[in-house]
Amino acid sequence: MNLKSLKKYIPFVLIIITIINYQNLLIHKVLADEKKIIYLTFDDGPAGKVTTNVLDILKQESIPATFFLIGSQIKGQEDLIKRMYDEGHALGLHSMSHNRNNLYHSNEEFLQEMLDTQQIINSIVGIKPNILRFPFGCNNNCYKISQSMVDLLHQNNLKIYDWNTDSGDGAHPNASPSTFIKNSKSDKERVVLLMHCAYMSKNSVKALPSIIKYYKDNGYEFKAIDENTPEEYHFMKK
């Protein structure tokens, strides 16, 4: 075949190359859209050395997390709140009292504790967090989330984040780190992992590096919760 004959095939070759490149772009986009995500979340801080140790590990691993804070514990630990914020972590609301009887007496009392905590955080770092987590979860032994509560919180620009994977360190803080590691492993596409950085959460700190390693090894992207993160809660079937 001479050169002149070959030239007539050039447009077809170019079309084929263009189609292949377009298909590759689509494949890459699909893979990007299917990126697995983990939200590491820590309840019940700030709590002195335990919270500090958690922050040290997160800094060493260069990953963000989300801290749901108890307002009554913040006084005297403002530097920890500033550090969380400065190091790119999300700050969330976890009530003032963490007391079942106070919180779940009425929707209005629950809301007020969240707003009071929001105001304290705002006075320290100049932002009003609008993400919250129900103490003991939004469906617990003494309370089940209602539509009226959801409506009230949404009317006040607050968003709800439970979890879909539980390390177990809240109910059994003195269990072995290996137990928390085992409980924390998930293969969900979107993991919202419940952990704690309370004063009693020393074994959680010991488990954290292995938990982070598991998710890194399995290709997860670490993200902090923000107001654009899809909410995580459900209503109990009656």
The secondary structure of 120-180 as a DSSP string is: HHHHHHS----EE--TT-SEETTEE--HHHHHHHHHTT-EEB--SEE-STTT-TTS-HHHH
Whether 103 and 233 have beta carbons less than 8 Å apart is answered as: no
- The H or E element spanning position 196 is strand 190-196
Q: Is 172 a catalytic residue?
A: no
Beta bridge partners of 90: 66
Residue in 28, 33, 43, 172 annotated catalytic: 43
Q: Known catalytic residue: 33? A: no
With contact defined as beta carbons under 8 Å apart, do 180 and 209 qualify? no
SS3 content of the chain, % helix, strand, coil (to 5): 45, 15, 35
Per-residue burial over 90-103, b if 16 or more Cβ lie within 10 Å, else e, is bbbbbbbbbeeebb
Among 33, 196, 217, 234, the active-site one is 196
Q: Which two tokens stand for residue 186?
A: 């998930």
Q: Which of 183, 191, 151 is nearest to 166 (CA)?
A: 183
Active-site positions read: 43, 196
